[in-house]
Structure 1
Amino acid sequence: MLAGKLGLSLASVHASASAVWPPTGLAIGALIVGGRRLWPAVLLGAFVVNITTAGSIATSVGIAVGNTLEALVGAWLVSRFAGGRHLFERPRDVFKFALIAGLSTMVSATIGVTSLEFGGYAAWTEGGRIWWTWWLGDVVGALIIAPLIVLWTQPPVFALERRLEAVGVLLVTVLVGALVFWERGMLPVPFIAMPPLIWAAFRLGVREAATLIVILSGIAVSATVRGLGPFAV
């Protein structure tokens, strides 16, 4: 629920639609790891977040159902076609996961926006713009957060020198991210933040790279909403 509140605090085009929505990744990742039997927790969490933010009981139920179906569809497709919990062991399964993330999130965006429109909380003429923002936020959440959940279900095994290297890459990532996104004009090109991620992927592993992506994304989002960095409008 905390992740949901955080996501909705970044909403722009509508109070119920955010371009950054971590709960999608949390839900899909949890269902991949823990099984689809966890869907009631997704439903309850989504309902509580929405009913305490905006809309009515009816629209909150509709949105919660959409979020739950999105997670169920995404987790089922990953388990059926992309290797389940082992989806990051083969490149082709990673590409399948990206495709699944794009497809399954359409469920939540469509049901959610339709619920708002029928409930009178969104104009029909604004539906397309809200849908696009909703879908984009869910895709971002799925691609960034779900890998973190899946990859960290098993404890990492590092030699001491690799642990020191991991700490070093983490510090470099945070430093570069701060210079790119928080310091005006210091490093205006966001692609400068890519080398630490590439280093982590090749030297440390996909789990560590996924972790750094989440950290760097957090730095970028926190700066952008404050009008800082190359992505600020």
Structure 2
Amino acid sequence: MAAVVGIQEQRRPLGYAVQALAVATCYYAAGRLGLLRRLTVEGAVFTPVYPSTGVALACLLVLGLNCWPGIALGAFFLVLSLGTPGPDVVGILVGSSAGPVCAYLMLRRAGFRTDLGRLRDGLCLVFLGALAAMLVSATVDVVTLVCAGKLDAANFWPIWLVWWVGDAMGVLLVTPFLLVLLGARRPSLSRWKETLALVVGAAVLVPVATRSTLSALFLVYPLLIWAALRFRLAGSMPCALFASVMATIAATDGVGAFTGLSHVEVMLKLQLFNGSLALTALLLSAVITEQRNTRLSVEEACQELAEALEHLSAHDHPAGRAPPQDGEARRAEDER
């Protein structure tokens, strides 16, 4: 027994190390993907959607608080890939880790469920996980860069705003997508045709809507509503993420609905579009899922009640005599 316990104790640090390395790799890869498309506001370069925050929060929700060293390690590798780190790297690592950790703690305190099957869960993710918790990461990171002299203090608020919104969009778009992906099931054969139609429709409609000079971004919403009504989060969140990625590409290229706009106008228009996408997909799907679960619960309760009544009815009749099955049998029983 002592030998078994010793082996388990030896494996535990190794398991933590592998888990931290896996989380760091996912965080770093997501950050590099986000940095492929950048915008500049007041001389500061930022990503409109910072997917690393969404990856970090998803890892915390699935793996628990013990994975936070992997988040800090991934943030360090990401900073290292951008240049030689200075003393300010400590503040960056603290901000990058503190935001997702605060989001995790607040969501856990609020009774958040990762299946996002309730409207309450969607609202908690929006207001606690994204809007509130990302205030911490944005504030710590921007203050650190200002104190290090890498950002102008006169532009603190515009830079802080775009930093906060980018982190929040990462949570709103990436975290639900990853949570849905982990719990996804294969669609039934009867729904393959509709699934294929949704994929083809998204592949055709979203690029047209985001790159059209007619400013046709609104065309994405009927597709998003269809996905939410028929597939709930499993359909709406991939559509929202795909639309956000295509809109970000169009914004950074300055084409479509973003033609001729200043950097600030591009940022504002893009983030309003991303935010409305995320809220529509997340909250509408949560409402539909909650109503469906309520209906199933009512149907199950009715079935149990019917079985209980049938069981009681069977006990009300004497042994050897079957209960009447129809109106004629009941009338005959009454006449007798």
Structure 1 length as normaliser, TM-score?
0.92
Is this contact kept in 2: 1:33–1:153, CA < 8 A? Answer: no
CA contact (8 A) 2:211 2:257 kept: no
Which residue pairs with 2:76 in the alignment? 47
Instruction: Identify the residue that residue 103 of structure 1 maps to in structure 2.
Output: 132
- Cα shift at 1:54: 4.9
Instruction: Look up the match of 2:20.
Output: none
1:109, 1:134 within 8 Å by CA — same for their partners in 2?
A: yes
Deviating beyond 6 angstroms after TM superposition, the runs of 4 or more aligned structure 1 residues are none
Number of equivalences: 230
Aligned residue for 2:118? 90
1:121-176 CA-partner distances (Å, limit 9, x unpaired): 11111111110010010011110000011111123142112122112112111211
Match of 2:154 in 1: 125
Do residues 3 (structure 1) and 30 (structure 2) align?
A: yes
Cα displacement (A) at 1:82: 4.3
> What are the equivalent positions in structure 2 for 1:78-227 lying under 5 Å apart?
78-86=107-115, 88-100=116-128, 101-185=130-214, 188-227=215-254
Identity across the alignment (%): 28
Alpha-carbon distance between aligned partners in 1 of 2:257 and 2:109, rounded to the nearest angstrom = 39
Of structures 1 and 2, the one with the larger relative CO (CA 8 A, separation 6+) is: 1
Q: Matches of 1:228 and 1:175 in 2, distance apart?
A: 17
8 Å Cα contact 1:30-1:149 kept in structure 2: no
Deviation at 1:109, TM superposition (A): 0.4
Distance in 2 separating the partners of 1:55 and 1:81:
40
Give RMSD over aligned pairs. 1.7
TM-score by length of 2: 0.65
Bigger radius of gyration:
2
Q: Is there any run of 5+ residues in structure 2 with no aligned partner, and where?
A: 1-27, 262-336
Are 1:74 and 2:103 counterparts?
yes
Q: What CA distance in whole angstroms lies between the structure 2 residues aligned with 1:11 and 1:23?
A: 17
Q: Distance in 1 between matches of 2:55 and 2:88?
A: 22
Counterpart contact for 1:46–1:64, Cα < 8 Å: yes
Pair 73,84 (structure 1): closer, same or farther in 2 beyond 3 Å? farther
**Gapped runs of 5+ residues in structure 1?**
none
